[in-house]
Amino acid sequence: MMNVIEFFRNLPKKQCSSCGNVIQEQADCYSNLCDECNSPAR
Ligand SMILES: [Zn+2]
C-alpha cells in the first residue's frame, strides 16, 4: 500500500516562473512567482 504522506512529500515543488526559485508552500495561493518576484516592495 502506498504511503499517502510520502506521496505528497515527493511531489515536485513549484518553481517561480520568473527566476526559477523554489516557491514555498505558503505561496501556493499566489501565482507562479516566488516571494522575491511577488514582493511589491521590490
Ligand atoms: Zn522569482
Question: 11-37 pLDDT, tens per residue?
Answer: 777 888 899 988 876 645 557 888 888
Ligand 1 centroid to residue 11 C-alpha, Å: 20
Q: What is the pLDDT at residue 19?
A: 92
Q: And the C-alpha cell for 27?
A: 505561496
Ligand 1 centroid to residue 33 C-alpha, Å: 5
3-state secondary structure 4-25: HHHHHHCCCCCECCCCCCECCH
Ligand 1 centroid to residue 22 C-alpha, Å: 8
Q: What is the pLDDT at residue 14?
A: 80
* Higher per-residue confidence, 29 vs 39: 39
Ligand 1 centroid to residue 31 C-alpha, Å: 11
CA distance readout (Å), 39 to 4, 16, 26: 33, 13, 14
Instruction: Grade residue 1 by pLDDT with cuts at 50, 70 and 90.
Output: low
**Amino acid making up residue 39:** S
Instruction: Grade residue 4 by pLDDT with cuts at 50, 70 and 90.
Output: confident
CA distance readout (Å), 2 to 6, 7, 18, 38: 8, 8, 35, 36
Question: In the chain, where are the structural domains located?
Answer: 4-38
